[in-house]
A and B are shown apart, each in its own frame.
Chain A
Amino acid sequence: MTQYAAIIYSRDVDWTLPEYADDMKQYNKFGEDNEAAIRGGAALYQTSTATTVRVKGARGGQIVTTDGPYAETKEALTGFYLLEAADLDEAIAMAAQIPGAWDGAVEVRPVIEFPG
C-alpha cells in the first residue's frame, strides 16, 4: 500500500459558517465512506488567516513574516487528506469523491515513507 496526500484547492471561504453546512455534510460523507483508507487530514481556515514565514539567510536568521498565503491563487489550498491506496488508480478514484474535486481541484501526490 502507498500513502497519498490528497490536497484540496477550492473556494477560499470560512467553512465554519452555517452557509457551508451542506458542504461540510458532503465532506463528512466522504469521510464515512472512506474511513478505512483515511490516515489523516485537516480542513483549513481561509487564506486571509494565513501567515507565511521565512527565515533570512540560514537557520537562526531574521524571521520575516508576510500576511497571507504562500501564493495567491483563485482557488486556495483549503485542506488535505492522507489516503492509503494500492495504486494511483485507486487513489484517483477516491480523490474523485472529495467534494473539492468538483468545487475546484484535488492534487494527488505520493507520500515519502522514510525507513525506520
Chain B
Amino acid sequence: MKAGDQLAETIRIEGAGLLATLTRIVGDLSVAEEAVQEAAVAALRDWQVHGVPDSPRAWLTTTGRRKAIDILRREHARLSKERSGVELMDQSRSDDPPDTVLTDDLLRLIFTCCHPSLSPEARLALALRTLCQLSTRQVAAVMLTSESAVIKRLTRTRQKIALARIPYRVPADSELPERLVAVCGVVHALYTAGHSPPGGEDLISVDLCLEGLRLARLLHELLPDEPMPAAVLALILLTEGRRPARLTDKGDVVLLSDQDRSSWDKAMIAEGQNLLAYSLRRTGAVADPYQLQAAIAAEHDRAPNYHGTDWNEIIRLYDLLLSVAPSAPAALSRAVAIAERDGPASGLATLVGQPPSHRWHAVRSELLAKQGRYNEAVAAVTESLTGDLTGPERRFREGRRAIFLTSASRDRRQQ
C-alpha cells in the first residue's frame, strides 16, 4: 500500500467514529456527513505535508467540528441547528471523545442506519456510505446499480431519517434483540457482497470481506453480551478462515473438495469456533440462522479432509436452518450435501422444484456429469453461464463445460 493510500485508509476507518460523534453533536446526519468529507480532504492534504498527528482521531474531530460550524453558517441554519452550532463552538471541552462516548456514538449510528423502518437496500447503502465510508461510486459497484441511483436512494433515506425523526439512540435492552436482526442482516450482507464481487471487481478498492469482518468485530465488541453479533462474527471468521485456499495464485476457483486444508487460517477458525460456542451458550432453545450457518461452516472446517466430512450432521443443520429461515441458497446447499451422502441421483431428485438460479444449474451439471450424462451436463452448465457471475466463477464453469464436452464426444465415439 502506498503512503497516500495508507493515510486514506486511516481516515476512512476513523471516519465512521467521527461521523457518529458529529451526528450526535449536530443532530443532523447530512451536515455531519458533509463535515466528515471535508475533514477527510483536509487531513489527507495536511498529513501528507506535516505527517500523521499523534492522535489522528483528535485531529479529525477538531477539524470535523470546525467544518460542521462552517457548513451550518453557510446554510443559514434553522433555529435548532444554530443552537447546536453554538454548542459545537464550545471549544473548552476535549475534542478527543473518551472511548465510552465513541462506543455509544458508533452504536447510535449503527442502529440509526439499520432502523427497521428503512428498507433493507436503504440500510445497506447507508451502512456502506457511513459505517464503511465508501464513496457513492463504490456503493454503486457493491450494490450492482448506478451511482445516480445510489445518490438518489441515499438522499431519500437521509430525508426520511430527518423528517420522520428516526431517533439517534441505542434501543432499550428490551428492544435490542429485535433491532439487532436488522443490524446483523446488514453486516452479513456486506460480507456476502465482498465474498462474491460481481464482474467489475476492480472498481472496489476496499476489501468488503475484511470490511464485513471489521464491522462484525466492532458490533460484537460494542455488544459483547448479545448472542447474535457473536454468531455473525463467528460465521464470518469460520468462512473467512478458508479464504486462502479458495482461489489459486492465478485467481481460479478451487472447490471445497480440492482445497489445501493446511492453508486455512487455523487461528481464525479457532476464534470462530469459540465465538460460536459462546453465542450458543447465551441462547435459549432455538438457534438463530447465523448460529446455524456458523455451525455448518464449523462442521466443514472441522473435517480432516473432504472425504471425512460428516454429511449427516451437515444435512441435519441445513434442515434446522431451513425450518427457521427458508432460503433458496440454503436449500441448494442441502441438495449438494444430500448428493454427497446418498449419491448424485438423490441430489438431482432434491433439486426438483427448487427455483433455478445460475448456481442451481451449475450444481445440476456436476451431478449429471457424475452420472455420466455429459450431454445434459453441458446443457446445464451452459445455462449456468447466463447468470450474473464473478470472473473466477465464469472461468471455472467454462473449464467444466470444456471437460463435459470432451467426455460427451468421447462417449459418442465409443458408441
A residues contacting B by CB (< 8 A) are: 2, 4, 86-89, 92, 108-110
Whether B164 pairs with A109 at a CB distance below 8 angstroms is: yes
A-B contact pairs, 25 of them (CB 8 A): A2-B164, A2-B165, A4-B164, A86-B165, A86-B167, A87-B165, A87-B166, A87-B167, A87-B169, A88-B115, A88-B117, A88-B164, A88-B165, A88-B166, A88-B167, A89-B166, A89-B167, A89-B169, A89-B171, A92-B117, A108-B164, A109-B164, A110-B163, A110-B164, A110-B165
Residues of B within 8 A of A86 (CB): 165, 167
Residues in B146-192 with C-beta less than 8 Å from chain A: 163-167, 169, 171
Residue on A nearest B161 in the bound complex, by CB: A88
Q: Which residue of B lies closest to A2 (CB)?
A: B165
Chain B residues near A89 (CB-CB < 8 A): 166-167, 169, 171
Nearest CB in chain B: distance from A74 CB, A: 22
Q: In the bound complex, how far is the Cα of B164 from the Cα of A108, in angstroms?
A: 9
Distance in angstroms between the alpha carbons of A109 and B163 in the assembled complex: 9
- Give A13 Cβ to nearest chain B Cβ, in Å: 29
Contacts of A92 in B (CB 8 A): 117
**Prevailing SS type, chain B contact patch:** loop
- Distance (Å) between the CB of A87 and the closest chain B CB? 4
Within the complex, what minimum Cβ distance (angstroms) separates A31 from chain B?
23
B117 to chain A: which residues have CB within 8 Å? 88, 92
Complex CA gap A6/B78 in Å reads 27
Q: How far is the CA of A110 from the CA of B162 in the complex (A)?
A: 10
Closest 4 CB pairs of A and B: A87-B167, A87-B165, A110-B164, A88-B164
B122 nearest CB across to chain A (Å): 14
A44 to chain B minimum Cβ distance, whole angstroms, is 24
Q: In the complex, what's the smallest C-beta–C-beta distance from B78 to chain A, in angstroms?
A: 9
Identify 18 new A-B residue pairs, CB closer than 8 A, beyond the known A87-B166, A88-B166, A108-B164.
A2-B164, A86-B165, A86-B167, A87-B165, A87-B167, A87-B169, A88-B115, A88-B117, A88-B165, A88-B167, A89-B166, A89-B167, A89-B171, A92-B117, A109-B164, A110-B163, A110-B164, A110-B165
- Given the complex of chains A and B, what is the CA–CA distance between A4 and B160 in angstroms? 13
CB distance from B304 to the nearest CB of A (A): 50
Separation of A92 and B165 alpha carbons in the complex (Å): 11
CB-nearest residue of chain B to A112: B163
A19 to chain B, nearest CB (A): 35
In angstroms, how far is the closest chain B Cβ from the Cβ of A83?
A: 12
Q: How far is the CB of B173 from chain A (nearest CB, A)?
A: 14
Identify the closest chain B residue to A85 (Cβ). Answer: B165
Q: Give, as a whole number of angstroms, the nearest-CB distance from B257 to chain A.
A: 49
* Residues from chain A with Cβ under 8 Å of B164 in the complex: 2, 4, 88, 108-110
In this complex, the member of B117, B164, B167, B169 whose beta carbon has the largest number of chain A beta carbons within 10 angstroms is: B164
**For residue A92, which residue of chain B has the nearest CB?**
B117
In the assembled complex, the Cα of A89 lies from the Cα of B84 at a distance in Å of 23
Min CB–CB distance A40 → chain B (angstroms): 19
Cβ of B169: which chain A residues have Cβ within 8 Å of it? Answer: 87, 89
